[in-house]
Homo-oligomer: A and B are copies of this chain.
Amino acid sequence: MARELHLNLFINGRGHHETAWRHPASTTKALSDLSYYRDLALAAEAAKLDSIFFADQLALGDELAHAARGELEPVTLLGALAALTSQIGLIATASTTYNEPYNLARQFASLDHLSGGRIGWNIVTSWAPGAAVNFGQEAQVGIDQRYARAHDFVEAVSKLWDSWARDAIVDDRDSGTYARPDRVRRAAHRGSHFSVAGALNIPRSPQGRPVFVQAGASKDGRAFAARYAEAIFTAHLTKDSAIEFYADIKTQARALGRGPDQIVILPGLSAAIGSTEAEAKRVWEELNELSHPSVGLARLSSRFGGHDFSHLKLDDVLSVEDFPDPSQVQASRSRAQSITALVARERPTLRGLLHSLAGARGHFTATGTPEQIADIIEDWFVSGAADGFNVMPPILPTQFDIFASEVVPLLRRRGLFRSEYGDGTLRDRLGLDPVQSQFDPAEPVKRSA
């Protein structure tokens, strides 16, 4: 079977550019309005995308005056969207640092039932420094500790999701047998951070468990992804960086005995699309012109663990000496590293750097015609940089509408993307093997396809 391109729509505010909320082409609906997300989900489903995705933060960001904040909580939102859609995959972010395994396992199992097997879990350790103080902690714990807890967390929830056999419920009214107790087992997890007796109190869900999605890109993040992730959202400012990441993850996965096709790598792509290149560039310039330096500075600061950049002027030419050592950053270390690499490479002004980051926060940005964007997608896909893309329209919904109506048909014509959904769960669509069950150890691990 030919390799299949995978496309996920990343829904963020009124678009991924930080000024999208002000742009005349963005929605006028409130970010708390379900109908806005419903219409986007249905548009993505009509375009036959694999999935939609919501990020999450556990603290209110800074610069509220000039940045659009206050989106809905993703798990509850996915409950609503599960009821309003029928085919598209639904991926929500949830934190291993600020949750209990039993609660998270229940909510995602429930979502997987509600959606008929369309759920993914974007596993995060919560890099934002402001989260810790919302959970009774004086300060954020370091990356190493967050990942140690994340490993234990994923082991615990995996046991909970595997605590019911597929055939545990008999539901035999005549004999009065509802379930077979020997087909439900305690999780009995005793790890470094969590003790969970189990069993889960929700039967095995259609996918067995949600698809594991991950976006960490630090050394710890990559090792975690190679072990657990089945889909990866990843941020690269260059194709070369994406190729290096892709090869590294697949190599690490192989070393752990995993098939490289069992991790679908989806770099972010934030493209302004126009009927001419000039029109596309104009959209991007319009967005940049609406930007407010304090918003970009606050975001830059949070990427470097709260470092103070306020002494820099917008027209200063930057050098790496203006930044703290990214290897010491306890927040989003990989993003900090990619920013300092960009500074070393391009020596931008502060204004220039903020503009590059305003677009998609460190993800790849592009401007062009539908053909040019389709070319980028095909090029990365065939060059070993991507198995598909995390589509991050700079303006929503209009730039996604153009993507769906202009770029997707080109990808179909080139034989890269599906025209119809097949049967099956999100796992099936992503080409992932079925989840193993402790109750059926002999079952085939490989899909029959």
Q: Which residues on A are within 8 Å of B, measured CB to CB?
A: 21-24, 30, 32-34, 38, 57-61, 64-73, 75-84, 98-100, 102-103, 106-107, 109-111, 113-114, 130, 133-136, 164, 169, 171, 173, 176-181, 184, 194-203, 205, 290, 292
B residues near A110, Cβ cutoff 8 Å = 72-73, 76-77
| A60 x B201 contact (CB < 8 A) | yes
Residues of B within 8 A of A71 (CB): 201-202
How long is the Cα–Cα vector from A38 to B84 in the complex, in angstroms?
12
Q: Do residues B202 and A114 form an inter-chain contact, with CB atoms below 8 A?
A: no
Q: Which residues of B contact A103 (CB under 8 A)?
A: 98-99, 103
CB of A76 within 8 A of CB of B73, answer no
* Distance between Cα atoms of A32 and B22 in the complex (Å): 42
**Chain B residues in 8 Å Cβ range of A130:** 197
Q: Report Cα–Cα, A99/B100, bound state, in Å.
A: 8
Q: What are 20 A-B contacts defined by CB distance under 8 Å?
A: A21-B178, A34-B114, A38-B83, A58-B201, A60-B184, A68-B178, A69-B201, A70-B164, A70-B179, A70-B201, A70-B203, A72-B114, A77-B114, A79-B79, A81-B83, A100-B136, A102-B134, A102-B135, A134-B198, A176-B290
Contact A100 B135 (CB under 8 A): yes
Complexed CA–CA distance, A400 and B274 (Å): 56
Bound Cα distance from A110 to B54, whole angstroms:
14
A58 near B102 (CB under 8 angstroms)? Answer: yes
Tell which of A98, A99, A110 has the most Cβ of chain B within 10 Å. A110
Residues on the B chain within 8 Å of A68, using CB: 171, 178
Q: Which residues of the partner chain B approach A169 to less than 8 Å between Cβ atoms?
A: 30, 70
Contacts of A164 in B (CB 8 A): 70
A99 to B98, CA, bound (A): 10
| A205 CA to B76 CA, complexed, in Å | 14
The CA of A64 and the CA of B184, in the complex, are separated in Å by 9
* A131 and chain B: residue at smallest CB distance: B102
- A176/B22 in contact, CB under 8 A: yes
With a cutoff of 8 Å between Cβ atoms, the chain B residues found around residue A106 in the complex are 73
Q: How far is the CA of A61 from the CA of B201 in the complex (A)?
A: 8
Please state if A176 and B66 are interface contacts (CB–CB under 8 Å).
yes
A136 vs B169: C-alpha distance when bound (angstroms): 28
Known: A135-B102, A178-B21, A178-B65. Contact between A73 and B196, CB under 8 A?
A: no
Docked pose: A70 CA to B204 CA in angstroms: 9
> Is the pair B102, A98 in contact by a Cβ cutoff of 8 Å?
yes
Q: CB within 8 A of A199: which of B60, B83, B181, B195?
A: B60
A173 to B23, CA, bound (A): 7
Cα of A68 to Cα of B70 in the assembled complex, Å: 40
Residues of chain B contacted by A33 (CB below 8 angstroms)? 113
Complex-state Cα separation, A84 to B82, whole angstroms: 10
**Residue pair A65, B197 in contact (C-beta under 8 Å):** no
